[in-house]
Structure 1
């Protein structure tokens, strides 16, 4: 969910199909439930605070490790933020970088309840 998670993901080949997806979300509770459900997620905050990425710092970090022998291209990046400009920015970067970006904003749109532990199975 934070910067250390991304570093680990980029250094590790995904094991199995469901581990190939990294959900990029702007809701911490939903990110936590995604991780607890066995998938991978990164929380993108409004600003880079040294612990969590903002959209812009995430893209900067991804650009800085391009072509350095990472596992970047082994993943599918699912933009699932509630803000359109964040999703557009992620997909634009993925296209420019030759990475597999998937539009997933509709998965969590108006479903903040999915951030509650009781709804983890959904």
Structure 2
């Protein structure tokens, strides 16, 4: 299906928008950001509507999975948890798999050399930020 191809990137963009608006909402709530009342109400309304997109995402993932509900929940519990935007950063844990793959690739000279350069740059940047 065509929707199966464009839907996941769309949801990721919506997730980034939700996170940005959530930060704005928190800043408004703690008086770090001063805006008009109508703007604050609009931000909260958009946040609520974006939650509908995340629920629709879960429904579509179930529809496309060809599993019964119990099997879908058992096999996708982590994905279901991360549908709630507050838990979306946990999707970064999937990066752990990629890091393991990079470690295997680091055995080759070219990839190992590149990873060492990136690691060195990150260390320098971290030291600058700490000081």
Measured against the shorter chain, the TM-score band is: under 0.3
- Larger strand proportion, structure 1 or 2? 1
Question: With structure 1 as the length reference, what TM-score do the two structures score?
Answer: 0.23
Q: Which has the higher contact order (CA 8 A, sep 6+)?
A: 1
Rg comparison, structure with higher value? 2
- Larger helix proportion, structure 1 or 2? 2
Question: With structure 2 as the length reference, what TM-score do the two structures score?
Answer: 0.22
